[in-house]
Amino acid sequence: MKKYCFGIDVGGTTVKCGFFNTDGEVLEKWEIQTRTENNGENILPDIAKSINEKIKERQVNKEDIAGVGIGVPGPVNENGEVPCAVNLHWGYKNLVKEMEEMTGLKTKAGNDANVAALGEMWRGGGVGYHNLIMITLGTGVGGGIIVNEKIITGSHGAGGEIGHAHVEDDMEIACNCGNKGCLEQFASATGISYLARKMMEETDMPSVIRKENVSAKTVFDGVKEGDELAKKVADRFGYYLGKALANFGCVTDPEVFVIGGGVSKAGEVLLDYIKPYYQKYAFSACKDAVFALAKLGNDAGIYGAARLVLE
């Protein structure tokens, strides 16, 4: 019976590291710098070094360690290879093989958004559920699909790329992905800011959100103050997201939708705007799905990565 595992979340500027027991308690968290120079050739050796030092420092027997789970910002195939990860300056990388050689520990890897979903299932907003869809509302919109406690990776590593579902034919501006009318353009922090600016232009209604740099926070703060225009913007956001989640729901029929990312800091009020549209558009059998806020914040990645290696 293994006692410990590592959960590693590789970001573009820092690598978050966690040392866990196999019950899912984090015993220690730390960060190292992500050195992206020279095609990010130091990133994996730096992580391996940090893990090996931690094992020595804590005088842990390697045989008691289940392994190392790693989440990376890019697609990861079933063999643990990364075809390309832009933010890390990586081209092809045989991540699992390299890490296993450098640490002597079993390694598993996954896409960071998918891994975060697994973390929320294990120790966050989705505890007690086995089938969930997580949606992360940050600068963009990320997602992770969990079925029977396993990540749906997809045949091109694009499982859970739900930020790029098409939700609006009448969108002239292109998404970062190249398409027009993606969910991300309306439901991310950037998207909510876009909706606010657009709706402010369309009306003369006085509002507390009429600020130069109106953000998702401005909007939901406005909602809490009872501002009518803020509520209209939030309603439009809820329409796009609730309807999209209803359509994802008829694919994998999850027990719970977990909403995370920076925008979710607005709290329960966010769900008040999403759920009515979800329930309006969802297939009858799916209408009673649970909605929950993510709980682990920036730690979802290390929790999920740790869970990955315990599968």
Q: Report how far residue 212's alpha carbon sits from residue 217's, in angstroms, rounded to the nearest whole number.
A: 13
Q: Report how far residue 193's alpha carbon sits from residue 5's, in angstroms, rounded to the nearest whole number.
A: 40
Determine how many CB atoms are found less than 10 A away from the CB of residue 259.
Answer: 24
Is 34 one of the binding residues for its own copies (CB under 8 A)?
no
311 by Cβ neighbours in 10 Å (0-12 / 13-18 / 19+) ranks as exposed
Tell me the closest approach of the beta carbon of residue 163 to its own copies, in angstroms.
Answer: 8
Which residues ranging from 105 to 134 are in contact with its own copies (CB under 8 A)?
130-131
Is 269 one of the binding residues for its own copies (CB under 8 A)?
no
| Candidates 32-40, 57-65, 158-166, 185-193; binding stretch for its own copies (CB under 8 A) | 158-166
Tell me the closest approach of the beta carbon of residue 244 to its own copies, in angstroms.
Answer: 8
Q: Report how far residue 182's alpha carbon sits from residue 194's, in angstroms, rounded to the nearest whole number.
A: 13
Tell me the closest approach of the beta carbon of residue 153 to its own copies, in angstroms.
Answer: 8
Q: Report how far residue 168's alpha carbon sits from residue 2's, in angstroms, rounded to the nearest whole number.
A: 49
Radius of gyration of the chain (CA): 20
| Candidates 10-18, 23-31, 245-253, 293-301; binding stretch for its own copies (CB under 8 A) | 245-253
| Candidates 53-61, 204-212, 222-230, 246-254; binding stretch for its own copies (CB under 8 A) | 246-254
Q: Which is nearer to its own copies, 183 or 214 (CB)?
A: 183
Q: Report how far residue 138's alpha carbon sits from residue 11's, in angstroms, rounded to the nearest whole number.
A: 14
Instruction: Please identify which residue in 110, 254, 260, 261 interacts with its own copies, judged by CB under 8 A.
Output: 254
Tell me the closest approach of the beta carbon of residue 178 to its own copies, in angstroms.
Answer: 6
Instruction: Please identify which residue in 7, 110, 124, 157 interacts with its own copies, judged by CB under 8 A.
Output: 157
Instruction: Please identify which residue in 86, 174, 283, 311 interacts with its own copies, judged by CB under 8 A.
Output: 283
Cβ-based neighbours of 299, under 8 Å, separated by 6 or more? 16, 18, 26, 29, 119
Half-sphere exposure of 265 (CA within 13 A, CB side): 13
Q: Which is nearer to its own copies, 22 or 252 (CB)?
A: 252
Is 166 one of the binding residues for its own copies (CB under 8 A)?
yes
Q: What are phi and psi of 194, to 5 degrees?
A: -60, -45
Beta-bridged to residue 134, according to DSSP, are: 144, 258
Q: Report how far residue 144's alpha carbon sits from residue 115's, in angstroms, rounded to the nearest whole number.
A: 7
Residue 11 near residue 308, CB atoms below 8 Å: no
Q: Which is nearer to its own copies, 153 or 193 (CB)?
A: 153
Instruction: Please identify which residue in 50, 52, 87, 179 interacts with its own copies, judged by CB under 8 A.
Output: 179
Q: Contact residues for its own copies (CB under 8 A)?
A: 75, 130-131, 145, 147, 152-162, 164-166, 177-179, 243-244, 246-255, 280-281, 283-286, 288-289
